[in-house]
Amino acid sequence: MEKYLVTSALTYANGKLHIGHIAGSYLNADIFVRYQKLVGNDVLYVGGTDDYGTPISLKAEEENVSPQEIADKFNKSMKVDLEGLNIQLDNFSGTSHSGHIKDSQDFFTNLYDAGYIIKKDIKQFYDEKRKRFLSDRYIEGICPFCKAEGARGDQCDNCGKLIDTMDLIKPKSKLSGEVPIIKNTIHWYLDLPKFEKELRQWVDSKTYWKDNVKNFVLGWLNEGLQERGITRDLNWGVPIPLKNTEGKVLYVWFDAPIGYLSSSKEWAEKRGTPDKWKDYWLDENTKMIHFLGKDNIPFHTIIWPAMLSKQKERFVLPHDVPANEYLNLEGLKMSTSRNWTVWVEDYLKYFEGEYLRYVLAANAPETKDSDFSWEDFRMHINSELNNVLGNLANRTCIFANKYFDGIIKCPNEFSNLSKDTLAEVHKLADEVGKSYSNYHVRKATKKFMDIARIGNKYFDETQPWKKVKTNKNNASQTLYVCLEILRIISIVSSPVIPKSMKSLHDMIGVMDSNTWDNISKKSAGYTITNVEILFRKIEEKEVEEQLEILKQRQRDVVEEENMIEHKPEIEYEDFMKLEIRIVKILEAEKVKKSNKLLKLKVNVGGEERSVIAGIGKDYEPEDLIGKKVPMLINLKPRKVMGVESQAMILAAEDNGILSILHPDKDVNEGSEIS
């Protein structure tokens, strides 16, 4: 018997679960765990919510409640959603409970005392308007690597690289929308370069890792590991266990994976065996498997192993990290901010949880991004679950009830066709098991559906509806073989569709427990009980309704985006401080090494000034000479690319295109705007 410690990546407790979460880290883990339990292995499966960090703080500020209330709210809703999909963790915790705080502080202290954490005086963005330092997720800008817009201050979702917040291009505060200033602050860093040699040797030993995971990790190591900040200026988080560090907490990626440990301890406490967690975490034979999306690869394959390796207790290191790629929706990248996703809570209002399990398994994003579409969802349910598996179960059981009173005994002899059919089925069942073991859920799903196809083909070829009139024993043999196939299917497909297969198992009267070993144990016979329809067909109008829901969400988002976001009100006296006058542009030239800046010389009623204007993408220099435009005159001069700018030209922006303004009548240079 093997021992497994399985985790699903902790989900930020700032929103509801969506199908991307399920496809990325929950369903694949649940399927793996169910399979391992079927073969008799010892498995502990834990997860929970990531209660700390900026996303939760932002959500709390948005709803004007405490971060703890937000964390509790979404932790509860996720438990309900997971139950609706029959995803069964042994413990679903949250990182804001007291046990997790202690574990995280212990991890920090052990690393600090061993010399793997260093203190640094650094520069950090500061929002003057909100009077607070901005942690990475309070900052957005352009990625310095791939130049994608909307990159967070810690990581770019587009290219997957971790970002030093100070390297962001055009940073902007998510709190106020203002450009932040830079101030000095103190933080603590994990000295990753000290782990590089040890980590490389460890990664090199993982010859069985998925290519997408290993290539990602080697890319990091080949670039050279950098010291990574593990603290933030926040009030919501695990406090740093050092003196005089008020207002500083552990960064979420440092304490989040420790949540697997604290969830395991919580599980042990709940069952009345507080030290039971040690059987998994401190046993060198335990295989720890982390299921997650590809954006979490570096944290679980570099930073987390480094943290684990230098603790006082000898924790097991990750055995495997079978990260999945992303799930798209209707051909487009999912976006929770734009409401372009399928929320599990909403899905369960319309459809059975089993159906989503099957479709996501059949289309799992294991080696490349995959796409979820409602029409594809309908096709999988109707053409496969209904027309193939459901059809085999229904026709076999109804026929057995009609002609044999539901009682089918094992034949004394089997035809060659029956022997060959069962042999092929057992061969495919073995392949299904190997696929589950190797995290190939997509392949396993196809294989067990192929078993059902074999059953239907066999039923058609043996024609029991004819044989029952001339040779009832032959007809009975057909039904026995089909019931054997259904029994095997009820075992091999149960990790994917457990509820339906429990119904099938009971319907065909199988008394044995549902274990993988029982696949090879031929049944003495079957007694059909109440025949029920295992799966219902999805109507076209149901899919159209879901598509309309998505479209309406997009219309709502566009409408909201088109609304003007006003700045805070100012006093009349504040406006009177602004000196805005009409100026005439005398000269214009491009600024070297810039594709958008122009240097202008303007006349302000007899006074000349130099101005740097960011309108070079929308205007050629020669087109501006002679134009009269409004300009803010009493703005404090500042240097832009080494050139002093003594005013600011006013322009209107529409979808990124700038248009300078003109008076509708000819007025003298220097005329004041009031």
Angle between helices 441-462 and 416-437 (to 10 degrees): 170
Looking at the structure, do residues 88 and 114 belong to the same domain, yes or no?
A: no
Q: Tell me: pLDDT of 59 over 90.
A: no
What separation in angstroms does the CA of 524 have from each of 113, 146, 472, 476? Answer: 65, 64, 18, 13
Looking at the structure, do residues 587 and 615 belong to the same domain, yes or no?
A: yes
Cβ-contact 495, 436 below 8 angstroms? yes
Quick one: which of 127, 142, 45 has its CA closest to 89? 45
Looking at the structure, do residues 244 and 272 belong to the same domain, yes or no?
A: no
Looking at the structure, do residues 494 and 584 belong to the same domain, yes or no?
A: no
Cβ-contact 70, 90 below 8 angstroms? no
Burial label, 534 (beta-carbon count in 10 A; 0-12, 13-18, 19+): buried
Looking at the structure, do residues 20 and 88 belong to the same domain, yes or no?
A: yes
- What is the average per-residue pLDDT within 567-594? 86
Looking at residue 44, its pLDDT comes to: 98
Tokens 């000898």 appear where?
314
pLDDT band at residue 435 under the 50/70/90 scheme? very high
Residue 354, in any domain of the structure: no
Residue 244 or residue 164, greater confidence: 244
Residue 360, in any domain of the structure: no
Q: Which of 224-233, 480-489, 549-558 has the highest mean pLDDT?
A: 480-489
Rounded to 10 degrees, the C-alpha dihedral 61/64/69/73 comes to -90
Q: Which two tokens stand for residue 583?
A: 């100026």
Q: Tell me: pLDDT of 392 over 80.
A: yes
| Distance separating alpha carbons of residues 14 and 647, to the nearest angstrom | 43
| Distance separating alpha carbons of residues 423 and 417, to the nearest angstrom | 10
**Structural domain ending residue among the three candidates 527, 551, 586:** 527
Full residue range of the structural domain in which residue 402 is found: 373-527
- What is the average per-residue pLDDT within 224-228? 92
Q: Which two tokens stand for residue 87?
A: 């995803």
Residue 206, in any domain of the structure: no
Residue 455, in any domain of the structure: yes
**Structural domain ending residue among the three candidates 497, 527, 557:** 527
Looking at the structure, do residues 385 and 472 belong to the same domain, yes or no?
A: yes
Residue 173, in any domain of the structure: yes
Residue 269, in any domain of the structure: yes
Looking at the structure, do residues 583 and 645 belong to the same domain, yes or no?
A: yes
Q: Tell me: pLDDT of 160 over 90.
A: no
Q: In the predicted model, what is the mean pLDDT of the chain? A: 92
Q: 438-448, pLDDT tens digit by residue?
A: 999 999 999 99
- What is the average per-residue pLDDT within 606-631? 90
Looking at residue 563, its pLDDT comes to: 61
**What CATH number corresponds to the domain at position 436?**
1.10.730.10
Looking at the structure, do residues 386 and 276 belong to the same domain, yes or no?
A: no
Looking at residue 61, its pLDDT comes to: 84
Q: Tell me: pLDDT of 565 over 70.
A: no
Looking at the structure, do residues 387 and 483 belong to the same domain, yes or no?
A: yes
**Percent of the chain residues past pLDDT 70, beyond the cut:** 99
Looking at residue 606, its pLDDT comes to: 87
Residue 51, in any domain of the structure: yes
Looking at residue 593, its pLDDT comes to: 75
What is the CA 430 to chain-centroid distance, rounded? 31
Q: Tell me: pLDDT of 131 over 90.
A: no
Quick one: which of 392, 526, 509, 556 has its CA closest to 459? 392
Q: Tell me: pLDDT of 65 over 90.
A: yes
Q: 72-94, pLDDT tens digit by residue?
A: 999 999 999 999 999 999 999 99
Looking at the structure, do residues 10 and 37 belong to the same domain, yes or no?
A: yes
Q: Tell me: pLDDT of 137 over 80.
A: no
Structural domain count of the chain: 4
**Percent of the chain residues past pLDDT 90, beyond the cut:** 71
Looking at the structure, do residues 452 and 472 belong to the same domain, yes or no?
A: yes
Count helices and strands (H / E) in the chain. Answer: 24, 29
In this structure, of 94-103, 174-183, 441-450, the range with the lowest mean pLDDT score is: 174-183
pLDDT band at residue 270 under the 50/70/90 scheme? very high
Q: Tell me: pLDDT of 662 over 90.
A: no
**Structural domain ending residue among the three candidates 527, 557, 582:** 527
**What CATH number corresponds to the domain at position 293?**
3.40.50.620
In this structure, of 61-65, 118-122, 132-136, 475-479, the range with the lowest mean pLDDT score is: 132-136
Cβ-contact 625, 586 below 8 angstroms? yes
Residue 124, in any domain of the structure: yes
**What CATH number corresponds to the domain at position 156?**
2.170.220.10
Q: Which of 342-346, 632-636, 661-665 has the highest mean pLDDT?
A: 342-346
In this structure, of 212-226, 238-252, 468-482, 555-569, the range with the lowest mean pLDDT score is: 555-569
pLDDT band at residue 16 under the 50/70/90 scheme? very high
| Distance separating alpha carbons of residues 258 and 236, to the nearest angstrom | 17
Looking at the structure, do residues 236 and 164 belong to the same domain, yes or no?
A: yes
**What CATH number corresponds to the domain at position 579?**
2.40.50.140
Please name the residue ranges forming H helices in 407-494: 416-437, 441-462, 464-470, 472-492
